[in-house]
Structure 1
Amino acid sequence: MEFGAAVSSSSSSTFRVLTNHHLCSLSSNKTPLKTNLFPSKGFSFSLKKPFSCTAAITTNNATISPSKVKGSNEGDYSVFELSSLTALSPLDGRYWNKVKELAPFMSEYGLIRYRVIVEIKWLMMLSKIPEVIEVPGFTNETHQYMQSLIDEFGMADALEVKNIEKVTNHDVKAIEYFLKDKCQSHPEISKVLEFFHFSCTSEDINNLAHALMLKEALNKVLFPVMDEVIRAICNMAKEYAHIPMLSRTHGQPASPTTLGKEMAIFAVRLSRERQRLSQIELLGKFGGAVGNYNAHMVAYPEIDWPKIAEEFVQSLGLTFNPYVTQIEPHDYMASLFHATIQFNNILTDFDRDIWGYISVGYFKQLTKAGEVGSSTMPHKVNPIDFENSEGNLGKANAGLSFLSMKLPISRWQRDLTDSTVLRTMGEGLGHSLLAYRSTLQGIGKLQVNQTRLDEDLNHSWEVLAEPIQTVMRRYGVPEPYEKLKEFTRGKAVTQESMQEFVQGLKLPQEAKANLLKLTPHTYIGAATELAKTVDAAVNLILESSN
């Protein structure tokens, strides 16, 4: 998708709006500069004095002036055909390049494609049931033809289904008619066309399609990026394992840690949720109108339909749920979305901590030529990647929380509220994916500022009050906590004053010598080792799900 652009004082410029049937282009009497609609290195254009531009927007049948577009609430809405500029969701516009990998799975196209797969696989299953003599076993050539309908399914096929839906006003019935049309001239399948969608309710097809959509989107897109985030944070933990850092509890100086150990905590927390996600079973039902195989058993009473349904669902790589109404109750979806929310919550915690470390100067951010941090303050290098991530995680969690609360609730044997809601699953996953990639981008810009870390440690000798009073307890010094509280709380403590305090303690010489050697930089306990061994901890968690 490309467009040409030229801005000048010429009055002959025209702008053509991109729709599904147009290319988006600007033209004038000057040679236009060609550029991608979403160039990776920014938008390039030519500007010619006196900085004026006249343009007209052209649709299929008419040219609309800019003034008409400006008052679009009173004008022709045809100029706002769906494009990256008119999409209501930024996922389909501004952020498309960062989330488009989800489109084959979580879009309307994806839903249609997986419905087609389920319908075809069901007919193939029927051909393998001996009692269904009306659908004899298919030849290898017929199996190959039906498989080709799946393998070669493309955008043109999906658009054909949508055109049929305009007539039927029923999306699943449109799939059935589409397949009948595709197979009406086939010598074998044409004889059994009425066994497409045999004994099925729409939700038999839909629930399996939705489960397959989620399975593929998670396995092929979300999980790999989640794993990439975990690996990136593990690498931070190991790289920064030895770098001492002042802790802060309640925002106040506390016992030192290492920067790497604090990163390791997030890697382990995220890996636990990642493991939990991979263990959630994706369920499917195939029991007819209300889950009892009513029509099946009237047509073929001698067949064990619950067993056939279980085999069919499992053949798709899903777990069979025998106890259902017209719909699969969506409890597994609620569990899946809750687990994703918790992963996102942990990553939000990470984003905020990194934001804070940048704010106090523990991290610098690598700059990129040409980037702007503020429209008015030239010096700014803002932590925008972590802020973008946090914002999108919040948006994702809002949608996923609604889905997990709403989907398990359906009146009696079924109402239609789940149908419209299920179409929004891609939004929550899309904002999650966008957030993960923003976090990864931000991590790639981080550079440790050792000077600032050292500065805070050197000004926080009071944190050694904890180990000193602990050693005093061991050797029976009276009221150790109270003595250190009186000496340090609310007071300025220096290296000299702290060592003078230790010199005056009645302790064994070796214990006193060890305390005198202690500094805020060295009082880090097992933090370094915990950070260095983070890979083993994460791998142990993730391998337990296999």
Structure 2
Amino acid sequence: MAHISSADQTLTDVSRIASGRRSFAAQENGIALGPLDGRYRPAVAPLTDYLSEAALNRDRIAVEVEWLIHLSSASALPGISALNADQQEKLRAIVTEFDADSIEELAEIEKATVHDVKAVEYYIGRRLAGIGIEQLKPLVHFACTSEDINNLSYALGVKGAVQHVWLPAARTLSAKLHAIAEENRAVPMLSRTHGQPATPSTLGKEIAVLAYRLDRQLKRIENAEYLGKINGATGTYAAHYAAAPALDWQAISRSFVEGLGLSWNPLTTQIESHDWQAELYADIARFNRILHNLCTDIWSYISIGYFAQIPVPGATGSSTMPHKVNPIRFENAEANLEISSALLDTLASTLVTSRWQRDLTDSSSQRNIGVAFGHSLLAINNVLGGLGRLDTAEQVLAEDLDHNWEVLGEAIQTVMRAEALAGVPGMDDPYERLKDLTRGQRVDATRMREFVAELGLSQDAENRLHALTPGTYTGIAARLVDHLTD
């Protein structure tokens, strides 16, 4: 009998396991390849109304329909009169009635056209006879290149996702952080610079720092500009003027784009240059990274006991260690923020470059916009969930401060400098004297007060330092939280 090596046996085992698996690829039962459409679907589902393939096609139809209405309303072409209110309503119903059957029909058309935007044109054309305007079929997609429709559709989708889904979630997170900062504004906390004990602050002030940073990014994102263009195959209006040379096509283009709620880009190649997207994605990626910083800080505060986690009833922290309550919400958020930021960075760097008048790299890249937003939204939801199950452990914070009286060394040597300037004798080398007392060693309350008493300070200065404790050496940290509402 031939000897079977352990490696060969492993291959045999893997082969047997693989051969016994049922194929999911042929099953149309909603099995997802990626986590956003699988286990995390409920958290990111609202984005599908704006950034999914179906949403993109619905917005393409909307742009095509509005362009037809706009051209007819402007009497842009000879023999074309404005559509009446009923005709306009029925045209717009093509958009509002876009459903699962519509998605399937459009997909069937695309199988024949092998072109997504052309499929949209034909989809609309099929419906004009029912509205009584079949003669306007040539007006669908009139003088347009695919990118005229796509750039506007993406702008509408991204704007909707930001304003109606991502920003509301981010604002809810900001409000939660404001509440935590306010609640803990006066709770003293030992700071750690380079991971070592440092001048105390308050827990509320430290949370406020991160909230303030996030709020700055939210203001930038709230003021984002969404650009669009509709100017033909290379941005020259060549086809427009060939068909109707007497018209002011720039004015028609501008009024149409602005009528969609977008900013008009007057100067492009075949594609809208996507600079606005790069700017927006950079701001969201920066928000992600600040939020990542918050996650790592909160995780660290949990690990040293500053926050206690409220267990979820029935939940398991570890498959083998029953006592554990893990900060998984923050860890999950970290991973998703990193994925989102990486995708946003890639989009921002890819979309600003297009060879000559057009290449197709932007088309493939933009199909991942929803993925980038999805991971960011998932992270925000996880952070909110994590923050909602935290309790401030004030006793732990107080004990930590009481074990680190050496942090008052900064206050004492600074008071000595002020005393020296006021002419009080014996205040030489204050920094060095405190360094000798405190560096690398613990100093308790008794020793620190003995040291202060031996300095020969003015009575007022000595009284102030005797009254000082690590828990009261927080400066105006509590008042600084007010800047969140400036």
- CA shift for structure 1 position 398: 1.1
> Matched residues in 2 for 1:507 and 1:76: separation?
83
Say which SS state the counterpart of residue 386 (structure 1) adopts: helix
Alignment-mate amino acid for residue 127 of structure 2: K
CA 169–398 in structure 1, closer or farther in 2 if over 3 Å, else same:
same
- 1:134 is aligned to 79
- CA shift for structure 1 position 430: 0.1
Alignment-mate amino acid for residue 412 of structure 2: I
1:156 alignment partner, one of 101, 112, 117? 101
- 1:71 is aligned to 19
1:511 and 2:458 equivalent?
Answer: no
2:209 alignment partner, one of 252, 256, 265? 265
> Matched residues in 2 for 1:407 and 1:330: separation?
6
Alignment-mate amino acid for residue 418 of structure 2: R
> Matched residues in 2 for 1:522 and 1:398: separation?
43
Say which SS state the counterpart of residue 206 (structure 1) adopts: helix
Contact kept in structure 2, 1:499 and 1:516, CA below 8 Å: yes
- CA shift for structure 1 position 81: 3.4
Contact kept in structure 2, 1:184 and 1:193, CA below 8 Å: no
- 1:106 is aligned to 51
CA 447–206 in structure 1, closer or farther in 2 if over 3 Å, else same:
same
- 2:239 is aligned to 295
- 1:370 is aligned to 314
CA 243–78 in structure 1, closer or farther in 2 if over 3 Å, else same:
closer
- TM-score, normalised with respect to structure 2: 0.94
> Matched residues in 1 for 2:324 and 2:185: separation?
29
Alignment-mate amino acid for residue 109 of structure 1: A
- 1:94 is aligned to 39
CA 165–72 in structure 1, closer or farther in 2 if over 3 Å, else same:
farther
- CA shift for structure 1 position 156: 1.8
Gaps of 5+ in 1: 1-66, 538-546
Q: Size of the alignment, in residue pairs?
A: 466
Contact kept in structure 2, 1:361 and 1:452, CA below 8 Å: yes
Contact kept in structure 2, 1:208 and 1:284, CA below 8 Å: yes
- CA shift for structure 1 position 134: 2.8
Alignment-mate amino acid for residue 507 of structure 1: L
> Matched residues in 2 for 1:76 and 1:453: separation?
55
1:383 and 2:327 equivalent?
Answer: yes
2:480 alignment partner, one of 509, 514, 530? 530
1:465 and 2:409 equivalent?
Answer: yes
Which structure carries more relative contact order (alpha carbon 8 Å, separation 6+)? 2
Gaps of 5+ in 2: 1-14, 421-426
- 2:7 is aligned to none
Q: Percent identity?
A: 45
Contact kept in structure 1, 2:200 and 2:471, CA below 8 Å: yes
- 1:193 is aligned to 137
Contact kept in structure 1, 2:91 and 2:131, CA below 8 Å: no
> Matched residues in 1 for 2:182 and 2:483: separation?
7
Say which SS state the counterpart of residue 437 (structure 2) adopts: helix
CA 404–159 in structure 1, closer or farther in 2 if over 3 Å, else same:
same
> Matched residues in 2 for 1:69 and 1:109: separation?
37
- 1:17 is aligned to none
Alignment-mate amino acid for residue 536 of structure 1: T
Say which SS state the counterpart of residue 36 (structure 2) adopts: helix
- 2:161 is aligned to 217
Say which SS state the counterpart of residue 73 (structure 2) adopts: coil
Alignment-mate amino acid for residue 277 of structure 2: M
Contact kept in structure 1, 2:128 and 2:136, CA below 8 Å: no
Alignment-mate amino acid for residue 232 of structure 1: K
> Matched residues in 2 for 1:156 and 1:215: separation?
26
Alignment-mate amino acid for residue 321 of structure 1: N
Alignment-mate amino acid for residue 214 of structure 1: V
- 2:445 is aligned to 495
CA-to-aligned-CA distance 1:218-272 (integer Å, 9 cap, x gap): 1110000010111100000000111100000000000000000001111110000
Contact kept in structure 2, 1:237 and 1:534, CA below 8 Å: no
- CA shift for structure 1 position 186: 2.4
Contact kept in structure 1, 2:144 and 2:230, CA below 8 Å: yes
Contact kept in structure 1, 2:406 and 2:438, CA below 8 Å: yes
CA 263–77 in structure 1, closer or farther in 2 if over 3 Å, else same:
closer
Root-mean-square deviation (CA, aligned residues, Å) is 1.5
Higher helix share: 2
- 2:88 is aligned to 143
